[in-house]
Amino acid sequence: MDDLATLAVHGAKAEKPQNEPVSSPIYQSASWTFRDLDEVDAVYEGREAGAIYGRNGTPNHRALEALFAALHRAESAVACASGMSALSATFLGLLGSGDKVVASQDLYGSTLNVLRDLGRFGVQTVTIDIGDVAGVKRALKGAKLLLLETASNPRLRVPDLPKLSALAHQAGAMVVVDNTFASPYHCRALEHGVDLVMESLTKFINGHSDVMLGAVAGKKDLIEKIRTVAVRMGLVSNPYECWLAVRGAETLELRMERASRSALELAQFLERHPKVRRVHYPGLPSHADHETARKVLRNGFAAMLSFELEPSRTSVNALLHHLRYIKLALSLGGANTTLSHPATSSHRFLSPQEREALGLHDGFLRMSVGIERLEDLRADLMQALEAV
Ligand SMILES: Cc1ncc(COP(=O)(O)O)c(C=O)c1O
């Protein structure tokens, strides 16, 4: 009898090296074997290190979670398939029917939409202006959760995390912060009193625009509630993406250092340019939250800025047609500098009234500054603005 079929399944045997590789292996397996039932019990109960099933996570998931927790000096972390799944798992793990969420009106558009969806399950959301402390205090009465962004998308509003966290805790609410724009390089939000810090790792942590991932970090008891939902509902990622993000994060500080330095220079350049009506960058004294940003952010003011041309799609298209390096792309946090247009992308699904209230008109652009040479970026903007 030809044993080819059996050999094809079982023949690929290699000895496990006893020494450690410099780059950790990718555990591309959705399923794991067990010696016997005692080992199954031991792994489930955490008495023995081991993996169970893809949805429960692999060593690559655990490595990314350990990394994210370490970067935020958190007790624990859970990785999910995207920033939105990390937020969704957080809401589904911590909220129930009848609960009230107080959310900054300046959140990423999809986050506002998820909160709206949760209304169908009895979770009510009230939006607030982070600068109106008395209004925040009023809204927090009876709230279960306060949701903020460290530097908001796209106006770069920076909340006074210590002050708002204290108010939320007095009201019995926990505080969740989306720290995507800042990354741990610019803000360790847990050190400012918040309970959970979440990031879309798709952005700066991975840093190369080639994975979708998210994570939440904080105290172990909260993280375990979120993990249970993430595993049960399948909101988890795969080993390869986790591996890529671990690799990308090795250069986080180098990238952020360069990009945030360039962002400040470009914000100053744009603020002086006659074709630019307004610049939103927390590092500029003209920004409403400059003083708060000096307290909450560290190592500079991050790599995201927004600027306003006249409210016209024609002007924006003229700029886009003339830029050589800076491309329109609907994400952020990569090595390359990109622009996004909130009115047609991240905030597309808000009502025109909601967009208007946030000032997100047709000439509003958000820029994610990358690691190219600053002089090239400045020259690129200068020549393209000529065409506007
Ligand atoms: C501030 C912020 N939070 C969350 C997300 C969602 O992350 P993801 O696209 O990884 O789901 C984004 C995406 O742009 C974002 O900008």
Minimum CA distance residue for ligand 1 atom 5: 83
Name the pairing type of β-strands 278-280 and 338-340.
unpaired
pLDDT exceeds 90 at position 181:
yes
135 and 79 inside one domain: yes
Q: Are residues 188 and 290 in the same domain?
A: no
Between CA 146 and CA 172 the distance in angstroms is 10
144 and 271 part of one domain: no
Whether 111 and 259 share a structural domain: no
Residue 10 lies in a domain: no
**Residue 348 alpha carbon to ligand 1 centre in Å:** 14
**Would you say the CB of residue 337 lies under 6 angstroms from ligand 1?**
no
Domain end: 188, 220, 249, which one?
249
Which of 104, 107, 153, 208 to mutate for ligand 1's pocket (most ligand atoms within 8 Å of CB)? 153
Q: Is the pLDDT of residue 1 over 80?
A: no
5 domain-assigned: no
> Does the CB atom of residue 384 touch ligand 1 within 6 A?
no
pLDDT band, very low/low/confident/very high, at 142 (cuts 50, 70, 90): very high
185 and 330 belong to one structural domain:
no
Domain closes at, from 230, 249, 268: 249
Is the same domain home to 194 and 62?
yes
Q: What is the pLDDT of residue 366?
A: 98
Mean pLDDT of 133-151: 97
Q: Note whether 288 and 351 are same-domain residues.
A: yes
pLDDT in tens, 312-364: 999 999 999 999 999 999 899 999 999 999 999 988 888 899 899 999 999 99
- CA–centroid distance, 87 to ligand 1, in Å, is 9
Same domain, 310 and 269: yes
Q: Which of 201, 226, 249 is the last residue of a domain?
A: 249
Q: State the CATH number of the domain containing residue 239.
A: 3.40.640.10
At residue 349, the pLDDT reads 84
Is 22 within the bounds of a domain? no
Pair (245, 330) in one structural domain: no
Give pLDDT tens digits for 36-90: 999 999 999 999 999 999 999 999 999 999 999 999 999 999 999 999 999 999 9
Across the range 199-218, mean pLDDT stands at: 98
Ligand 1 centroid distance, CA of 84 (Å): 6
Distance from the alpha carbon of residue 359 to the mean position of ligand 1, in angstroms = 20
Regarding whether 328 and 193 lie in a shared domain, the answer is: no
- Tokens 């799944």 correspond to 85
CATH code, domain carrying 333: 3.90.1150.10
Residue 96 belongs to a domain:
yes
Which atom of ligand 1 has the smallest separation from the CA of 330?
Answer: 14
> What percent of the chain is predicted at pLDDT more than 70?
100
Q: Is residue 21 included in any domain, yes or no? A: no
Per the prediction, the chain carries an average pLDDT of 97
Question: Which residue's alpha carbon is at the smallest distance from atom 6 of ligand 1?
Answer: 83
Q: What is the mean pLDDT of residues 169-195?
A: 98
178 close to ligand 1 (CB < 6 Angstrom) = yes
User: What ranges in 308-351 are assigned the alpha helix state H?
Assistant: 313-322
Same domain, 197 and 334: no
Kindly tell me the number of DSSP H helices and DSSP E strands found in the chain. Answer: 15, 12
Indicate if 204 and 264 belong to the same structural domain: no
Q: Is 109 in the pocket of ligand 1 (CB under 6 A)?
A: no
pLDDT of 290 over the 90 cut: yes
| CA 46/CA 62 separation, integer angstroms | 13
Q: Total structural domains in the chain? A: 2
Let me know if residue 132 belongs to a domain: yes
Domain-embedded: residue 12: no
Which residues have a catalytic role annotated?
A: 55, 108, 178, 203
Strand ranges (E), the chain: 76-80, 100-104, 124-128, 145-149, 174-178, 196-200, 214-218, 278-280, 304-308, 327-328, 338-340, 364-368
Element (H, E) at 4: helix 4-10
In a domain, 6, yes or no: no
Q: Domain limits at 327?
A: 252-386
Whether the per-residue pLDDT at 96 is higher than 80: the answer is yes
Q: Is the pLDDT of residue 384 over 90?
A: yes
Number of CB atoms found within 10 A of residue 59's CB: 18
What pLDDT was estimated at residue 2?
79
